[in-house]
Amino acid sequence: MHFARAEPEAKLKRKQAGAWLKGLRNRAGLSQVELADRLGLKYYTFISQVENGFGRVPTEAMEGWARALGESPSLFARKLLEFYDPELHRLLFEDQP
């Protein structure tokens, strides 16, 4: 992959991850403020930034996010890795001959 194409693709993937996360939050019946409270965040705006594709869930926070959203931490992290680093996800989880 060329680097010129990598950045727009990464932005698109972050937006897709954000939409997925927003769907999980809505399904859990939580507002951004409520999720921020569950995660111990001082400001809910970080949730908004992540959901809008301007940030990403830090690796060290993935388990907390998963539990706050009622998701399996392993499956949650695997799905985020698919968005945030698709090549690493492919190498780790796709069977290859």
The residues spanned by each domain of the chain are: 3-93
Q: What is the pLDDT of residues 24-77, one digit of tens each?
A: 999 999 999 999 999 999 999 999 999 999 999 999 999 999 999 999 999 999
pLDDT score of 3 more than 60: no
Query: DSSP of 9-64, one letter per residue?
Result: HHHHHHHHHHHHHHHHHHHTT--HHHHHHHHT-S-THHHHHHHTTSS---GGGHHH
pTM for the predicted model, two decimal places: 0.88
Question: pLDDT tier at 81 (50, 70, 90 boundaries)?
Answer: very high
Q: What is the pLDDT of residue 5?
A: 59
Cα–Cα distance measured from residue 4 to residue 60, given in angstroms and rounded to the nearest whole number? 29
Using alpha carbons, select from 84, 86, 30 the residue that is nearest to residue 53.
84
Domain 3-93 has CATH 1.10.3720.10: no
Q: For residue 62, with 0-12 CB atoms within 10 Å meaning exposed, 13-18 middle and 19 or more buried, which class applies?
A: buried
pLDDT score of 13 more than 90: yes
pLDDT score of 23 more than 70: yes
Mean pLDDT to the nearest integer, 12-30: 97
Q: Rounded to the nearest 10 degrees, what angle do helices 73-84 and 3-27 cross at?
A: 150
CA distances from 47 to 6, 30, 93 (A): 24, 11, 28
